[in-house]
Structure 1
Amino acid sequence: MLAVRAVQRRSLVEQATSELQRLLASGEWPVGSRVPGELALSKQLGVSRPTAREAMRALVAIGQLETRHGVGTVVVSATPLPALEQSLRRAAIAEVYEVRAGLEVEAAKLAARRRTAEDVERIRAALAKRDAAASPVALVEADLEFHTAVVAAAHNDVLSEVFGSFLGALRSAANDLVADAGLRTRAELEDSDGAHRALADAIADGDVDAAAAATERNVHTTLERLRAES
């Protein structure tokens, strides 16, 4: 008697991801081409916009798509990224986050001591934009705006200059991070959101210790996961 395998139900995200991979493998979406936006893609696939977004994130995570600021999502490979290359990419993100941890913890403490009412207003506005972000690209840009506002509130010109020169590397690493669906659970993502709100509150309250703790909670949790996965 032939062995019969149980039929497995696949989620809509899995089905959408498979269809996108078919388009890539067949050459219908050639390397270098720009893929449709989330709204257009969701209509073409017959799924919700969040489902289309998660399918694209899955392909970014395995190296077939790449999200580029000011451009959109672009095809970079017809085949998935080998496991070794994915591990190396995660290790590279971890190195950026090691530098980020040192800069941002000190910036948070200084900001809690030196912030002005205008600084707090700018941080709150950036936080609101971050909470409202509807795409990975928008989330990264709003997150960078938030942390830039925190650094500015530290009122240290050298720190601002160093952080500014670091933004390019940070943007690239952050885009890779949000695209790598396997790195963070939904609970960890929600905890990161909470850490950002706690940081804004601590700076507004002038609480140096709480500002440092919130920054460490945000950066170090991600850093430890990156070290474990690379």
Structure 2
Amino acid sequence: MTVRPVRHRSLVEEATAELRRLIGTGEWPVGSKLPGEVELSRLLGVGRTTSREAVRVLIADGQLRARQGSGTYVAAVSPVSRFDRELRRSETFHVYEVRAALEVEAGRLAAQRRTEEDVLALRAALAARDAAADPIELVEADLELHRRVVRAAHNPVLTRLFDSLLDALREAGGYVVAADHPHAGTDQDAITGAHHALVEAIAAGDPTAAAEATGANLIRTLDQLRPTQTTPH
């Protein structure tokens, strides 16, 4: 006789399994929109934190996709393959490589050229980032803060270049947060500290400190995303 050991599953695991069941059975077909966070928590019979974590798991697995200002939608019936996840990770790594190169210089220039109005806007954007209550809100607030840094550099070409990358940056940022790379656990405090240090360096007119703070933020993310082996193109 084979007896399977009884396993204790957390509420997050139970909620994740139920979401997978609803998607797999076609209750929520590909392209459909999930209920809002409050309604989803009610349907699952769990707290908002639990339902939010379950959604994050499925976003990381590629079954769900969050669209800023619209909601969360079913993207695939089953989790994407490991190969596809690694491919997306590699693409995100390359987006962040470009972002790091662009934003380190933007931070340096912003510290040299910022106005009082720029500093006020930066502090407001930083406060909004600190107050972000969910992954989608965090990604958007983070992008707005970095957009303000770029604008404070007062280089119109740099601003246009950053704005042209916004869609790619938003998708990459969503992946980073959903996949729980550097934006959770103990690293969260370090990343939040780096953003505060960046704003203070710009306000103080210290270009070296601004560049270092930008690097401390983005290079940490790059290290988390770095493929085990990259192929030159």
Give TM-score, length-normalised by structure 2. Answer: 0.93
- Contact 2:63/2:77 (<8 A) preserved: yes
- Contact 2:65/2:73 (<8 A) preserved: yes
- Contact 1:90/1:226 (<8 A) preserved: yes
Displacement of 1:4: 4.1
Measured against aligned partners, the alpha-carbon deviations of 1:11-49 in whole angstroms (never above 9, x if no partner) come to 111111011111111111111100011111111111111
Listed as ranges, the gaps of 5+ residues in structure 1 are none
Corresponding residue number in structure 2 for 1:132? 131
After superposing the two structures, state which structure 1 stretch, 120-129 or 5-14, moved more. Answer: 5-14
Displacement of 1:5: 4.2
Measured against aligned partners, the alpha-carbon deviations of 1:110-141 in whole angstroms (never above 9, x if no partner) come to 11111111101000101111111122221111
Measured against aligned partners, the alpha-carbon deviations of 1:175-219 in whole angstroms (never above 9, x if no partner) come to 222111356541122221111111111111112221111111110
Corresponding residue number in structure 1 for 2:208? 209
Instruction: Please list every run of at least 4 consecutive aligned residues from structure 1 whose deviation after the TM superposition is greater than 2 angstroms.
Output: 2-8, 181-185
Give TM-score, length-normalised by structure 1. Answer: 0.94
- Superposition CA RMSD, Å: 1.6
Number of equivalenced pairs:
229
Residue type at the aligned position of 2:40: L
Listed as ranges, the gaps of 5+ residues in structure 2 are none
Corresponding residue number in structure 2 for 1:109? 108
Measured against aligned partners, the alpha-carbon deviations of 1:80-139 in whole angstroms (never above 9, x if no partner) come to 111000000000000100000000000001111111111010001011111111222211
Corresponding residue number in structure 1 for 2:145? 146
After superposing the two structures, state which structure 1 stretch, 85-94 or 67-76, moved more. Answer: 67-76
Corresponding residue number in structure 2 for 1:65? 64
- Contact 1:60/1:67 (<8 A) preserved: yes
- Contact 1:33/1:75 (<8 A) preserved: yes
Distance 1:42 1:174 in 2: 25
Confirm or deny that 1:98 pairs with 2:97: yes
